[in-house]
Amino acid sequence: MRNILPIILLSLLSMTSFFVQSKPKFICPVNPSYDITVTPQTVLITQQDKNIIIYPNGQIWVNGNHLAKLSSKDQVMAQKYQSYLRTRLPQLEKEANGHLIDLKNHFDSVIANRLESNTYLSNELNALFDKLIILFHKSISTKNNTTKFNHNEYNLLRSNGEKIVKDTFFSLIGSSIKNMDLFKNYRNLKAIANQEWRKKKQKLKDFDQTLCQDFTFIEERNNEFFTQVP
């Protein structure tokens, strides 16, 4: 995974020359390679043609076969791991949503105060964040007490997020040209981005590193399970 939140949450600020030129320096070295489905009954971990089901008591099934020779130590580790996934994945989803909503509300307020309540720009901002929220939920989502993590969608957050922001950027440019206020919007938005980014960047960088730590741990633990089972 490469800089998910600074790219997805802050693409609005740092992706093109329309905003701030600096880019996040932190790069997570891990790209998840497993899909995870958490239900009240089981935790399902899949990779290609192999799947592992972990029950709350630590029992493990591999491709439909019960792993009967599991040691007590490994069973306790499996029990703790499935409990961790049940708690942590929904937490990460909730925290990411919170950051997106906070950033949206913050910039919506700033634009309203400093750009004379520019309705079009505010609407574009709202539409942008709605799309980013939908995008993030393609990688982690919770419905009907079931949390799903899709590693392919998660690893594509960067490129897909950039495309969404580029489309919004060109829409804003087109509207500015049409209304003869391109340079006014350019100067004002660039100033807002520079000033407001400083207020938010550390919190978002911290969360980006938290995401990296969690998914590094998850990837390492999944690798351990898949190398130990037949």
Q: How far is CA 85 from CA 28, 138, 146, 215, in A?
A: 20, 18, 12, 11
- In tens, the pLDDT along 202-223 reads 777 788 888 889 999 999 998 8
- Does this model's pTM top 0.85? My answer is no
Q: Lowest-pLDDT range, 10-19, 69-78, 89-98?
A: 10-19
pLDDT in tens, 142-180: 999 999 999 999 888 878 877 887 777 666 666 655 555
User: What was the pLDDT predicted at 191?
Assistant: 65
Return the amino acid letter for 64: G
Question: Residue 140 forms beta bridges with which residues?
Answer: 149
Report yes or no: 50 and 62 within 8 Å, Cβ to Cβ.
Answer: yes
Q: What is the pLDDT of residue 71?
A: 86
Instruction: Give the start-end residues of each E strand in the chain.
Output: 35-38, 43-47, 50-54, 60-62, 65-66, 140-143, 146-149
